[in-house]
Chain A
Amino acid sequence: MPRLLRVSGTALALLFALAALPTVASANDDLLKLEKDPNQWVTPLGNYAGTRYSALKQINAQNVKNLQPAWSFSTGVLRGHEGGPLVIGDTMYIHAPFPNTVFALDLAHNGKILWKYEPKQDPNVIPVMCCDTVNRGVAYGDGMIFLHQADTTLVALDAKTGKVAWTAKDGDPTKGETGTSAPLVIKNMVLIGNSGGEFGVRGHVTAYDTKTGKQVWRAYSMGPDADTLMDPDKTTALGKPVGKDSGISTWQGDQWKIGGGTTWGWISYDPETNLIYYGTGNPSTWNPVQRPGDNKWSMTIFARDADTGMAKWVYQMTPHDEWDYDGVNEMILTDQKFGGKDRKLLVHFDRNGFGYTLDRVTGELLVAEKYDPAVNWASKIDLKTGLPVRDKKYSTEANGEDTNSQGICPAALGSKDQQPAAYSPETGLFYVPTNHVCMDYEPYKVAYTAGQPYVGATLSMYPAPGGTNLGNFIAWDAEKGKIVWSIPEPFSVWSGALATAGGVVFYGTLEGYLKAVDAKTGKELYKFKTPSGIIGNINTFTSNGKQYVAVLSGVGGWAGIGMAAGLTNPNEGLGAVGAYQSLSQYTQLGGTLTVFALPD
């Protein structure tokens, strides 16, 4: 409904007619209202803009030191627990890694189980999940909870009863396609992306009808314009039309068909422009020598029309990837002053180590600066061309197959992976969980077989030079492209951050600490060690007028794979696992929800 209804006879008649009907608000209208209510947490990133900010302030910088666990809940599943809880009304919805159990918990009764859903999935999907059997959460809309299972099934569950309303199959796990990403409900559609970049899967985002599960549109990351939903004249890259079949022309032969560019990160949405934003992953294989060209549109930020999926603009951050720097990290939509003017911005902390600020309406590139000083694969990003200025020394393409390129920063895990950052409109700062890890990377020849790994490189990872800390939690100024403060952490910060109006920012650590820091200074105000390492995202909500903070712990995922892998030998050793090996001295596996509150 347009916001300014002209009061004409017809409009009034229409208005009365509408008033007479029972409320049939679309899921979107519903969610647009709900996301403004800080008492609930209705989308995976807290709101469509993906800011992970809450206006709640009962818990503040003065009293957060008194925080304590109120109740906790075991998911009964080991392995990595990514994503976070949703809160709709007085019900909390949490999920687990494979087998992808979903629980509805009654907040009025310390998490009494209202219903539980556990899908039956073919265990063959387990070995085709690259980096632990994670799942990044469920979505709510239209009175339903949507679960994106490991085997790519999208299932709609009645939010009240857990009864299955419909299921839809998004992909084929026997070809290496899997599901790990959280869905997002927009209007009468539920959107999901796919996983499997290490199996030569071609990435896509698909919109399904929330009522029926019928496909509304599907947009591939590469391929002909009919697949990528691009208009050669109207879709732009840095202001210029992309041209015909841009998703094929930078690939050799048919390689785009197994080109990767999967879409396993987060989706954001701007209701005003009706555009969705997300990023695409690495091109397959990890051996760059085998796939010449820019490999468009892998490693790309996409802006698409929510209704049709048509691409409005694209920006490829890392053309012809040589390091596995997936571009899937969250897109945070903010309305901020930039150069003295109010701008509609998109801020993105890429795996490649650069923090990007763009105009989200036009796709103009405004800022691209390193958010970890260790980044060395490129000296800078040319704002005019959008191209990284690469250092040949760290080019695995230039060094070639069967050569071990050393000292590349960041590692393939990225300066940040999927763990989403937060933005506070009060401080104007972004709070970013980061990795501080470098790597050696040796690409070699691989052949493609459907459903079999298509990796093509061996990696070793270790802390960035000059220190032993594997992570930092930073505050970032997206206008200047500068770090404001930085807290070193012994391990990567692999947990989604939360910013609050109480002047407190929360994040979790791989050892298992939930930490609260001062939003202005980064000073640590509170910490509590949960039962396992935290790779989940923190949220906040109220129940019966009282503010709570909740997080899933359960170490695993890529950073924790050594842990999930149960390694007990902490001496030498390289690789991601090598770097994280001593983690086993701090924590063990196990999924638990911990809910915190101030004492009564």
Chain B
Amino acid sequence: MPFRPFLFRAAVLTGSLIAIGGFAAATFAQDKSSDPAAGQQPAANAAAPAATDEEKPYHIAADGTVDWSVYNGFRRYNGICYVCHGPDGEGSTFAPALVNSLKTMSYDQFLDTVVNGKQDVGTANDKKMPALGSDPNVMCYINDIYAYLKARSDGAVGRGRPPKFEKKSEDYAKAENACMGTPG
């Protein structure tokens, strides 16, 4: 598989997001010449729960089955973000507990911080959040990560791997491949 450069379409995310259905979506496209309508389906957006609100961007069934978005958010979060923010969003001495942060942080603020990073370096602190806006492993799944953390923050999902989860849908897989620039 050749490594193709990703083009981050929404370069400056603050306030200029491609917002669909109430959700901002980061889009990666590996092929500039492709038909924008077909080639740039934002996976993150496709994966996001249709619902209305960023207040409850997850679905958890009565028997505890979480939607794919939450499950995938768990996997992606605990593959990358946890190094600083601690497993399951519990926080660390390097970085704040996102289970707390998301109680007050808006979706836009969340996205802004992920995309552009943050710095608090001085005599007492050496905290540094990298700008992840160019990382497809984060940005293609940012809504999943948000859904997972929001569910954690609301206490709707506990620590560790959600034991029961919905399967990945075909639409999701398609959009994921488009965003990640990988063949199915």
Contact = CB atoms under 8 A, between A and B. Distances in A.
A and B interact: yes
Interface of A: 78-79, 98-99, 123-124, 126-128, 130-131, 252-255, 258, 290, 402, 404, 440, 442, 444-449, 452-460, 561-562, 564-567, 569, 571-578, 589
B126 A123 contact: yes
B90 A567 contact: yes
A447 B180 contact: yes
A573 B159 contact: yes
18 contacts: A123-B121, A127-B83, A128-B130, A253-B1, A254-B2, A444-B79, A447-B137, A447-B182, A454-B137, A562-B87, A564-B92, A565-B92, A565-B94, A569-B90, A573-B160, A575-B88, A578-B87, A578-B160
Given A447-B28, A447-B181, 4 more contacts: A123-B119, A562-B86, A567-B90, A572-B159
Given A127-B129, A128-B130, A446-B137, A564 B93 contact: yes
Contact of A572 (B2, B134, B160): B160
Contact of A452 (B75, B94, B137): B137
B130 A573 contact: no
Contact of A575 (B87, B119, B129, B130): B87
Contacts of B93: 78-79, 564-566, 589
Interface in B91-137: 91-94, 119, 121, 126, 128-130, 132, 134-137
Interface string B1-40: 1110010000000000000000000001000000000000
B124 to A, nearest CB: 11
B135 A99 contact: no
B3 A458 contact: no
Given A448-B3, A564-B93, A123 B168 contact: no
B50 interface: no
B64 interface: no
A409 B161 CA distance: 19
Interface string B150-184: 00000000111100000010000000100011100
A362 to B, nearest CB: 38
Interface residues of B, number: 44
B51 interface: no
The 8 A-B residue pairs with the shortest CB-CB distance in the complex, in nearest-first order: A565-B92, A452-B135, A566-B93, A574-B160, A573-B159, A447-B136, A575-B87, A127-B130
Contacts of B83: 127, 130-131, 453, 561
A561 B84 CA distance: 9
B147 to A, nearest CB: 16
A538 B39 CA distance: 58
B137 A453 contact: yes
A255 B176 CA distance: 21
A574 B136 contact: no
Contacts of A442: 75
B106 to A, nearest CB: 23
A275 to B, nearest CB: 35
A104 B126 CA distance: 24
A39 B65 CA distance: 63
A460 B159 CA distance: 12
A290 B83 CA distance: 22
A569 B155 CA distance: 14
Please indicate which of the listed interface residues A128, A452, A566 has the most CB atoms of chain B within 10 Å of its own CB.
A452
A577 B181 CA distance: 33
